[in-house]
Amino acid sequence: MAMDDTPQLHGRVALVTGGSRGIGFAIASALLARGASVMIGGLRQENLDAARARLSELADEAAVETFAANVRSHRDVQRMIEGTVDRFGGLDILVNNAAVGFFREVADQPAEEWIETVETNLNGVFYCCRAAIPHLRRRGGGWIINVSSLAAKNPFAGGAAYSASKAALNAFSEALMQELRYDDIRVSYVMPGSVRTEFAGHHDGAGTEWKLAPEDVAQVVVDLIGHDRRSLPSRVELRPSKPRK
Ligand SMILES: NC(=O)c1ccc[n+]([C@@H]2O[C@H](COP(=O)([O-])OP(=O)(O)OC[C@H]3O[C@@H](n4cnc5c(N)ncnc54)[C@H](OP(=O)(O)O)[C@@H]3O)[C@@H](O)[C@H]2O)c1
């Protein structure tokens, strides 16, 4: 890595799921700023259009593309991965960021919420990885970075579905890391604490300045990619320095 510690990603192609808002948007911005071409995935076309307009102000318009795909659908995911490779010529970096959270006690949780949580936060990551791996291998290596949560190791009442989905994602990530490391595909997962986004319908107002910013998570993603290929930081816990007491 260069002395200024900033990995340059010119010629690299990234796909960021859930890149239209929040943490995914910040990750897409950071990768673009370092020269990567970036496909952002998301559910709603209007959010993707808005994100694309904002990202086009930061970088060459030709370096940004969007793809509306539901990660709960393996067919959608296959199309999104193929669409990325068709558009930019390959794939080097997969960031599995899209997720949902429904916070309710188990006794009151509709089965639909449990199913959507597991299908999005776990099955969706499996579909994306499975479809991406042949393309990453074709490039001779790459990165898979999964956005997990500290909720995976700190379960709480009302968070059973979310914590369980993220704990399973951690186990998945560690197994996949061992499967792919000798192909020079480096699998890592990031576990942020509270981040100021609109996740699960939250609207962070005054008094939430202690939370992480989406850019803090994006910085970790960039740092992971910048590591010398000799070393593999496979799990990162990222906390607000001074959480509310
Ligand atoms: N915010 C936090 O406090 C926090 C803390 C720790 C970890 N995390 C993790 O960080 C990641 C990003 O969270 P965030 O706070 O940035 O969330 P967010 O603001 O709610 O954004 C979620 C993104 O995921 C997309 N998405 C949701 N369901 C999808 C599906 N089925 N298929 C495709 N895309 C889908 C959304 O698309 P649309 O725009 O179309 O809805 C949006 O782009 C998640 O993995 C979350 O678990 C968040």
Hey, where are the domains in the chain? 13-199+208-224
Q: Nearest C-alpha to atom 23 of ligand 1 is from which residue?
A: 18
CB atoms within 10 A of CB 92: 23
Residue 5 — very low, low, confident or very high, per pLDDT cuts 50/70/90?
low
Per residue in 80-109, pLDDT (tens digit) is 999 999 999 999 999 999 999 999 999 999
Residue 205 — very low, low, confident or very high, per pLDDT cuts 50/70/90?
confident
* pTM higher than 0.95: yes
Q: Nearest C-alpha to atom 34 of ligand 1 is from which residue?
A: 42
Name residues contacting ligand 1 (CB within 6 A).
17-18, 20-24, 41-44, 47, 70-72, 97-100, 120, 147, 149, 192, 194-195, 197-199
13-199+208-224 belongs to CATH 3.40.50.720: yes
> H helices then E strands: how many in the chain?
7, 7
Task: Point out the residues that are catalytic.
Answer: 162
Which pLDDT value is given to residue 4?
55
Q: What is the largest CA-CA distance in the chain?
A: 54
Per residue in 45-89, pLDDT (tens digit) is 999 999 999 999 988 989 999 999 999 999 999 999 999 999 999
